[in-house]
Structure 1
Amino acid sequence: MRKSHQLLNALLLGLAPLAVSAQMYSWTNLPKITQPTFRKDTISILAYGAKPDGVTLNTKAINAAIATCNQNGGGVVLVPAGIWITGPVELKSNVNLHLKKAATLLFTTDKSQYALVEGTYEGKKAARNQSPISGINLENVAITGQGIIDGNGDIWRAVHKSQLTEGAWKEKVASGGVLKDDGKTWYPSEQFKRASTENKSMLLANGKKPEDFADMKDFLRPNLLVLTSCKKVLLEGVTFQNSPAWCLHPLMCQDLTIRNVTTKNPEYAHNGDGMDIESCKNFLIEGCTLDVGDDAICIKSGKDEEGRKRGMPTENGVIRNNTVYNGHGGFVVGSEMSGGARNIFVYNCTFMGTDKGLRFKSVRGRGGVVEHIYAKDIFMKDIAQEAIFFDMYYFVKFATDGERDMKPVVNEGTPVFRNMQFENIVCNGAKKGVFVRGLPEMPIQNIRMANLTLKTDKGVELIDAQGIEIRKAQFITHDTKPVILVDNSSKLTFDAIQYNPQASLLFSINGERSQGIQVTNTDVTKAQNKAEFGKGALEKNLMLSSAK
């Protein structure tokens, strides 16, 4: 047997030694996150000459207060009420940066204050401008309070004319910057325009150093907050907004708590993610409110070969009691998930107006195993696209039937999504209820869904999926032909399914690989047609056991 076939069979049976979890968790045994502790000693940035006048550049004063607090054994650095203009702030161990209510840290528009540094871009080493707030190899570190941290992101971001009202577009053009040759995109500068239109790379490859990118500095937008390889981190109560790129980016951190935080980015903010939890272990995200321009709560672990070599999954996480308004996805895994993700529990969350609800995405070449993801008590309203979404063709053309039948080989770049459970999911308004699209060589595997009430245009689409169970589900669909579409998927269970009376077609079964489809405790006689078969699918593979 060829090695690729052996690996494929092992993965399908769950035997492959990829992303094996050291400890299994359950709803009664959730991951535990260690909280940081701090001395009560308090230093005010006023003592170092900081001025809250919205004019004075306070970078030196704020960083001096943080450094002194750290040198004295730690404690609290206090930011009183006011508007504090500042350049990059560097956090230190054992320091809690506390923003009083009505305090705003507003990051300067002077881009010369932000040094070119080695960072990451979507999971790969890249040249970036220094983040407004950063920390590396810290322990016991926090940002707390009721203040606002504003990244002044509009000076960094490009924007398309179609994303703004006519009045806002005219105001943007009048503010300066340059337009794309077609007049449909605004850039902050000619340097930004040139880097964008020439598709220049920011990756640190072939021995390049950050200073080698000086001619495209303006294009290298920073993330608002980046904490790298830190332990016992707390972000609590503060509003993080208007980031040049991602808002919050904990990278390779351990024991991370994000509690009662608000993240805000404009809807038009390119890469305007709320929280990107990358290669972190033991984390809690609770009570947060997100209204952003890209994915809201996103799980990542590096990209392609570089992410696989890092080999650090994002694992052991609890995400609860959060509300997401605008965003490309409410809870998201991928697409940079090459190090894997596992043991993540999501519950009591509300998504209102996001593009997608529960969103899982990857593509050939990523590799990595995503497994043991659990979600329950998820409530969605006015979802623009899919409520529950899996897609292994992220940002690529979907293969034709002929290409899919070729079954490319399974190798280290083949992503695996498997072994997940979703229950008590409610969606009032979406284009599709459930969409699952795996790869022919690696189906999406063993996803169990129960107690679903989905009011959507379309019901269910399963493509290259295996071992999907949907039990006790009500599909209130506008389009009833079909309610459930199956394409080259196997070992499927549909139990106690409710759907619109007089639906024109309940099942559309397609493809030679569509086998072992069992329907139980479901009245199939309410549909005008219970099933149609195409593209080589056989009627015998739809089993109506205990169904009317």
Structure 2
Amino acid sequence: MELLKYPRKLHVIKLVLIVVLAFLSANYANGRKTHMHHHGHHYKHIKGCFEYLAINCRAHTASLTDFGGVGDGITSNTRAFQTAIDHLGRFGSNDGGSLLFVPPGKWLTGSFNLTSHFTLFLHQDAVLLATQDVNEWAVIDPLPSYGRGRDAPGGRYISLIFGTNLTDVIITGNNGTIDGQGATWWDSFRKGELNYTRPYLLELMYSQNIQISNLTFINSPSWNVHPVYCSNIVIQGITILAPVRSPNTDGINPDSCTNTRIEDCYIVSGDDCVAVKSGWDEYGIAFGMPTEQLVIRRLTCISPTSAVIALGSEMSGGIRDVRAEDIVAINSESGVRIKTGIGRGGFVKDIYVKGFTMKTMKWAFWMTGNYGSHPDDKWDPNAIPLIQNINYKDMVAENVTMAGRLEGIAGDPFTGICISNVTIGMVENAKKLTWNCTNIEGVSSDVTPQPCAALPVQSGKTCDFPKDKLPIEDVKVQLCFL
């Protein structure tokens, strides 16, 4: 406590955050305008405090404490967040946009809505704690491409961080934490007590030019990050953690989205680490918005009961042009899994995967055309999905129970499957049948163990991986100062 008597000493001790916070509240009250230049002119009082990378820097900054926020883990900050964002939302792109700084502390909150030309920035010692008071979660309409909630017919609880019809939105930090406190939700779900679908941690709808980066998401009630009907999305450097037996705690679910880049993420979850979706049966077919132009790279995933990357099962709007590379899978059920069924319609095509390392897997390759779950009884038995041009190359796996389980649909084979330069090390007591293939067509080259007859060897064949870049790969982040 000696230090507090001598405020001058604090300036020397950079690690004492009290100074930073004092300055932030004094200098940024009322969102005072600060000019940020790329050549490093920024205010001396927080010099070197926070540099961060973003698709856009902001001119106006305020702290949650300027709006009555209390980071004690007990006081609700729902109103503080919404007041702050409503205030900062007045600064549009012409005014240089705005940033809300969440300082160290535990900030209990219900759902709040983001705004355009806006950055939410969490300090590394900031934790957003999702309220466990069900009354604080508004019930909103089901997604039009699903026709109902995923957990229950009818509506769904709004996500913790939510936004719709926005442009230029950044959710970032220097690895702050968003804690969904999901255990009570998982318990209610398992007991069948929920009337509505559980909330997600972050959902953006009908929005564009989005960045989600450098944050940790833990214990989500259900899915973690859900961009839906969005375009131009960069998701990078996020960590997602949930108990491996928690229900439906998918990591990142791009859903009817175009031009998305997911990179440098670490995900441990009770469901698929990345689940690519586009609507459910007749509702997804009618909505007709595919997920396309998706790049996934440098992902590390642990999911003992699910896939590293799942395509489907809700894929009725279609999924195409997905490029996944440099993926590490540890103790997961399957690598890239295609999930579909009769009634889904839609397509999964032009999928390219390379540079996969897998350790301890149930299946290295898994496709299934017998996914049953339907939103209601109005699905069309003639809505047959099209699965074609699926490419896997340059993969290595060890401690695998079964190399491949590839099951198309009778009368509707999955075609154009290519697997090349793949080495799979089987567990000692592996099933005698290393590959099980039905209703599929394709080729293989340099694959061990030898694939099924439906994937005849075409020696020297190299499966495709596009040489061109997707537009989202050219989107650059710049250095910003806070």
Match of 1:494 in 2: 457
Q: Give the one of 55, 68, 75 matched to 1:49.
A: 68
The residue number in structure 1 matching 2:81 is 62
2:408/2:439 contact within 8 Å kept: yes
Shift in CA distance, 122/229, structure 1 to aligned 2, threshold 3 Å: closer
For 2:55 and 2:257, locate their aligned partners in 1 and report how far apart those are by CA, in whole Å. Answer: 16
Establish whether residue 464 from structure 1 lines up as the match of residue 439 from structure 2: yes
Contact in 1 for aligned 2:444/2:451 (Cα 8 Å): no
Q: Which residue is equivalent to 2:169?
A: 141
TM-score calculated relative to the size of structure 2: 0.76
Q: What's the CA shift for 1:484?
A: 4.6
Find the aligned partners of 1:452 and 1:117 in 2 and give their Cα distance: 46
Matches within 5 A, 1:379-398: 379-383=357-361, 385-395=362-372
Structure 1 length-normalised TM = 0.68
Instruction: Give 1:116's match in structure 2, choosing from 128, 139, 143.
Output: 139
Report the Cα offset of residue 230 of structure 1.
Answer: 0.6
- Number of matched residues? 386
Residue pair 1:38, 1:95 contacting (<8 A) in 2 also: no
- What letter matches 2:124 in structure 1? K
Match of 1:439 in 2: 409
Distance 1:90 1:428 in 2: 45
Q: CA 1:352–1:289 in structure 2 vs 1: closer, same or farther (change >3 Å)?
A: same
The alpha carbon displacement at 1:98 in A equals: 0.3
Work out which of the residue numbers 91, 106, 127 in structure 2 matches 1:83.
106
1:412 positional shift: 5.3
- Aligned partners of 1:449 and 1:102: how far apart in 2? 45
> Shift in Å at residue 242 of structure 1?
0.8
Most deviating of 147-156 and 114-123: 114-123
- Say if 2:287 is the partner of 1:310: yes
* Paired amino acid for 1:141: V
Q: Give CA-to-partner distance per residue, 1:430-480, whole Å, 9 cap, x none.
A: 2111221111211010011110001123532221112x11101122xxxxx
Instruction: Using the TM superposition, give the Cα deviation of residue 414 of structure 1 relative to its aligned residue in structure 2, in angstroms.
Output: 0.1
Q: Which residue of 2 aligns with 1:473?
A: 447
Q: Structure 1 CA distance, aligned partners of 2:396 and 2:171?
A: 34
Deviation at 1:395, TM superposition (A): 4.5
Match of 1:413 in 2: 383
Q: Is the 8 A contact 1:427 1:454 kept in 2?
A: yes
Higher alpha-carbon deviation: 296-305 or 322-331 = 322-331
Structure 1 residue aligned with 2:58: 39
CA contact (8 A) 1:369 1:417 kept: yes
Aligned to 2:221: 244
Residues 145 and 286 in structure 2, CA contact (< 8 A), matched pair in contact too = no
Q: Counterparts of 1:508-527 in structure 2 under 5 Å? A: none
Cα deviation, residue 108, structure 1: 1.1
CA contact (8 A) 2:85 2:100 kept: yes
**Paired residue secondary structure (2:406):** strand
Offset at 1:67?
1.5
Contact 1:36 1:141 in 2 (8 A): no
- Note the alpha carbon deviations across 1:350-390, whole angstroms, 9 max, x for none: 0101111111111110011111110000110001x211111
Moved more, 301-310 or 61-70: 61-70
C-alpha distance in structure 2 between counterparts of 1:423 and 1:268, whole Å = 31
Aligned to 2:21: none
Question: Which residue identity does 1:233 align to in structure 2?
Answer: I
- Aligned-pair CA distance for 1:72: 2.2
How many Å separate the matches in 2 of 1:120 and 1:272? 18
CA distance in 2: counterparts of 1:284 and 1:251, whole angstroms: 14
Q: Which runs of 5+ in 2 are unaligned?
A: 1-53, 150-154, 374-379, 462-482
Q: Using the alignment, how far apart are the partners of 1:284 and 1:447 within structure 2?
A: 24
Aligned-pair identity in percent equals: 32
Q: Work out the CA distance in 2 between the residues paired with 1:411 and 1:87.
A: 41
Paired AA for residue 176 in structure 2:
G
Residue 145 of structure 2 contacts residue 287 of structure 2 at CA under 8 Å; is this kept in 1?
A: no
Distance 1:474 1:420 in 2: 19
Distance 1:429 1:496, change over 3 A: farther
Q: Distance in 2 between matches of 1:341 and 1:117?
A: 26
- When residues 430 and 86 of structure 1 are mapped into structure 2, their CA distance, relative to the original with a 3 A threshold, is same
Give the letter aligned to residue 43 of structure 1. Answer: A
Amino acid at match of 1:469: V
SS in structure 2 of the partner of residue 429 of structure 1: strand
Partner of 1:183: none
Change beyond 3 A, Cα 1:155–1:432:
same
Max Rg structure? 1
Higher relative contact order (CA 8 A, sep 6+): 2
Aligned partner (choices 142, 156, 159) of residue 131 of structure 1: 159
1:276 deviates by 1.0
- The one-letter code of the counterpart of 1:131 is S
Aligned to 1:343: 321
Task: Kindly indicate whether residue 303 of structure 2 is the aligned counterpart of residue 329 of structure 1.
Answer: no
- Please report how far the alpha carbon of residue 225 of structure 1 lies from its aligned counterpart in structure 2 after TM superposition: 1.3
Match of 1:309, SS? helix
The answer on 1:228 being equivalent to 2:205 is yes
What residue identity is the alignment partner of 1:350? V
Structure 1 equivalent of residue 335 of structure 2: 357
* Alignment-derived partner of residue 400 in structure 1: none
Aligned-partner Cα distance in 2 for 1:59–1:69: 16
Question: Whole-Å Cα distance in 2 between the matches of residues 379 and 395 of structure 1?
Answer: 30
In structure 2, distance between residues paired with 1:129 and 1:139: 23
Following superposition, the deviation at residue 36 of structure 1 comes to 4.2
| 1:124, distance to aligned residue in structure 2 (A) | 3.1
How far apart are residue 123 of structure 1 and its match?
A: 3.0
Note the aligned Cα RMSD (angstroms).
Answer: 2.1
Equivalent pair of 1:138/1:231 in contact (CA under 8 Å): yes
Tell whether 2:395 aligns with 1:425.
yes
What CA distance in whole angstroms lies between the structure 2 residues aligned with 1:254 and 1:284?
Answer: 10
| Structure 2 SS opposite 1:60 | helix
Match for residue 151 of structure 1 among 177, 180, 184: 180
User: Are 1:104 and 2:104 counterparts?
Assistant: no
Give the 3-state SS of the residue equivalent to 2:279 in structure 1.
coil
Aligned partners of 1:417 and 1:425: how far apart in 2?
A: 21
| Residue type at the aligned position of 2:443 | E
111-120 vs 84-93, which moves further: 111-120
C-alpha separation between the residues in 2 aligned to 1:122 and 1:459? 38
Corresponding position of 1:3: none
Cα offset for 1:251? 0.4
